[in-house]
Amino acid sequence: MVRSGQLRSRPLVSGNRVTHPPAVPELLIVASTCAGLCFTRREILSRAHGQHMARRRKTKSPRILLLGLLLLASAILWLAVHPEVRETAKERWQEARDAWKRDAGSPEPESRSKAPEVAPAPAPQTTAWLLGRYSNSATYAGAPSAAGYPNSVTILTNAAYVVGYDETTRNPAWAAYRVSARRLNESFPRPGRFEVDPRSVSRVGHDDYTRSGFDRGHMVPNHAIASRFGATAQRETFLMTNVAPQAPALNQGPWRLMEEAIADRAAVAFEEVWVVVGPIYHEPAKTLPSGVRIPDAFYCVVVDELPTGPRMQAFVMSQDTPRQVNFRDFITTVDDVERVSGWDFFWELPDLLENAVEAQRPQYWLE
């Protein structure tokens, strides 16, 4: 809406710039001011340099000075009487000053570009592998997850190891432990009997193996735990929830030598290693007279961490493995162990890393 007495001008487009031609009152103000200033300045300079004749000083000079003063007074009076014109003049003056700054290369503060906002990186889809992440854990990269194993298991946590116990087979389905290079200076006597684990429903006891033809085979070995964690942790390895039937030749031969290589050489050389062991079953099922199922084979997977990622060594030995054979001849891949055992290991690793290391069949590196 245009107020009475206020003149608006139509904007002109020149290239990409829009300009407003001055209104008529503004032209009069500018013209009067400029003329008054010019006439006054000219008279003052002329008198200062003595360039006018006395006759002109007496006649024309006062009239010129008076005309300049009248024009200035008219401009000031106009601005005082018409405040809207005064505001318009201020706006024009501001526009002219801003245009001069732009032409001089001085950017306007409001036109300065802000630094672009950087969107946060998307959250990883799997837990990333991190060196030392599992240094205080008996399991490495997660407890084994069922991937075809037919029975449910109960997780039993002990001082130095963890067991997934199967009440159906009355055996541990898997057992996991960590062995470090640090050894205790004290030795501990071996307990004479195995004990019933009160946490189990099946409550398998020491005598359930007597005269069965099978040894009470430790899944988590007595020697590795006693030498690192002491007498209390050692006694927990003699719980029957840590035992499965093993043929004497296997238990006392290559399986024992493998356990010693892990505890006495690999853990010492590589500072710490993680181990997961367990039984493998085939049909038809065979059991002890007490009802404990007899495994057909056993697996063992050893993990060592390197700055570039974990490396793994896997073994599978059947119950009929001879006593004198070399356990190093039974190296396989973790993928093969998962296939025959029905368990998915190390699933917390990123999929690409897990798939790569579990498919490898490296040369023997435990010692």
pLDDT at 131 over 80: yes
Structure token digits, residue 181: 């290079």
Task: Report residue 306's pLDDT band, with 50, 70 and 90 as the boundaries.
Answer: very high
Pairing mode, if any, of strands 12-14 and 161-166? Answer: unpaired
pLDDT score of 67 more than 80: no
Contact of 68 with 38, CB cutoff 8 Å? yes
Burial 56-92 (b: 16+ CB within 10 A, else e): eeeeebeebbeebeebbeebeebbeebeebeebbeee
Which ranges in the chain belong to alpha helices (H)? Answer: 24-49, 54-58, 60-81, 83-103, 222-229, 231-236, 248-252, 254-261, 267-270, 334-341, 351-359
329 and 362 Cβ atoms separated by less than 8 Å? no
How high is the mean pLDDT of the chain?
A: 81
| CA-CA-CA-CA dihedral for 157, 163, 164, 169, to nearest 10 | -130
Q: How much of the chain exceeds pLDDT 70, in percent?
A: 65
pLDDT at 136: 85
State the average pLDDT over residues 201-227: 97
β pairing state of 215-218 and 17-19: unpaired
DSSP run (H or E) holding 165: strand 161-166
Report domain extents, the chain.
Answer: 12-107, 145-359
258-283 pLDDT per residue, tens? 999 999 999 999 999 999 999 999 99
Query: Are the C-beta atoms of residues 304 and 270 closer than 8 Å to each other?
Result: yes
pLDDT digits (tens, 9 = 90+) for 10-52: 444 344 444 444 444 554 555 555 555 555 555 555 555 554 4
- By the 8 A CB rule, do 81 and 5 touch? no
Closest CA to 263 of 141, 345, 367: 367
What lies within 8 Å, CB to CB, of 270 at 6+ separation is 181, 304
pLDDT, position 261: 98
Query: What is the model's pLDDT at position 214?
Result: 98
Provide the whole-model pTM: 0.67
Mean pLDDT, range 113-142, rounded to an integer: 65
- The string of DSSP letters for 268-312 reads HHHSEEEEEEEEE--SSP-B-TTSPBPPSEEEEEEEEEETTEEEE
- Decide if 32 contacts 72 (C-beta within 8 A): yes
Query: 145-359 — its CATH code?
Result: 3.40.570.10
Specify whether the CB–CB gap between 84 and 59 falls below 8 A: no
